[in-house]
Amino acid sequence: MLEIIQIPVLNDNYIYVLHDADSKETAVIDPAVAEPVIDILESKGWRLRTIINTHHHPDHVGGNLKLKHLTGCKVIAAKADRERIPGIDIEVADGDRLHLGTEVLEIIATPGHTSGHFVVYCPDSQALFCGDTLFSLGCGRLFEGSAAQMYQSLQKLKALPVATRMYCAHEYTQSNGRFAMTLEADNIELQARMQDVTVLRSQNLATLPTTLGLELATNPFLRENSPSIRQTLGFNAEEAPVNVFRKIRQLKDEFR
């Protein structure tokens, strides 16, 4: 079982440090900045072996070069992003498997937010590092991919075990939840969740990790077949799910 440390940085980012106690191997996912990662490594006496970047955006790769210079670690990123990620050493693609000690880290390609985006799934620890593909009560904006691509990417994640803990890269739950309520205000689980989120954020506490089961019950981007959402959007039961998803994404882009 991995030890996972969640580090809040910048305005609303999270960096994740992963450590396997048996092998003493350590990895970091999406280091936006280097300094807080270095602080964790020094306080724990850990040596950084690898950086894993889910995609190329600066708030996910900004600490790469400093960490690489200080620790000699390797940078792992998508083959498709070889020209866009600083310090890349190892290129991966959909279906590849990495190892952190005895822990398997599965690479699942999830184009949509960016063309080369992937997520990291750790079946033994039941953990999913989503980057900007899937958020608590939301999903990533479509900067480089289409709605159809993102829809298919999310279908892959929906198929994972419902107990999977989701470690998203941003603290967006409260704002995402306000939008979700406009689509499915009668969802009792969503109502209860928003009460919990309001309490957590009032105390400046994280709403993550979440679980896939909770997201399936409350996240509109995973609920394109919800009769309530379809009714709100004016779609009947025969409408293609991808079209419902596309409309939800469009409305979220316009939501203020």
Residues marked active site are found at 55, 57, 59-60, 113, 132, 170
Strand partners, 99: 104
CA distances from residue 182 to 14, 157, 233 in whole angstroms, order as listed: 27, 24, 10
Q: Is 216 exposed, middle or buried (0-12, 13-18, 19+ CB in 10 A)?
A: middle
3-state helix, strand, coil in the chain (%, to 5): 35, 25, 35
Asked if 204 and 48 count as a contact pair (C-beta separation under 8 A), the reply is no
**Residue 100, CB half-sphere, CA atoms under 13 Å: how many?**
31
Asked if 144 and 110 count as a contact pair (C-beta separation under 8 A), the reply is no
Helix (H) or strand (E) holding 255: none
Structure tokens at 215: 């997201």
* Spatial distance between the Cα atoms of 57 and 157, rounded to a whole number of angstroms: 21
Structure tokens at 106: 């599965």
Separation of CA 115 from chain center: 15
Helices 35-44 and 64-71 pack at an angle, to 10 degrees, of: 30
**Residue 177, CB half-sphere, CA atoms under 13 Å: how many?**
23
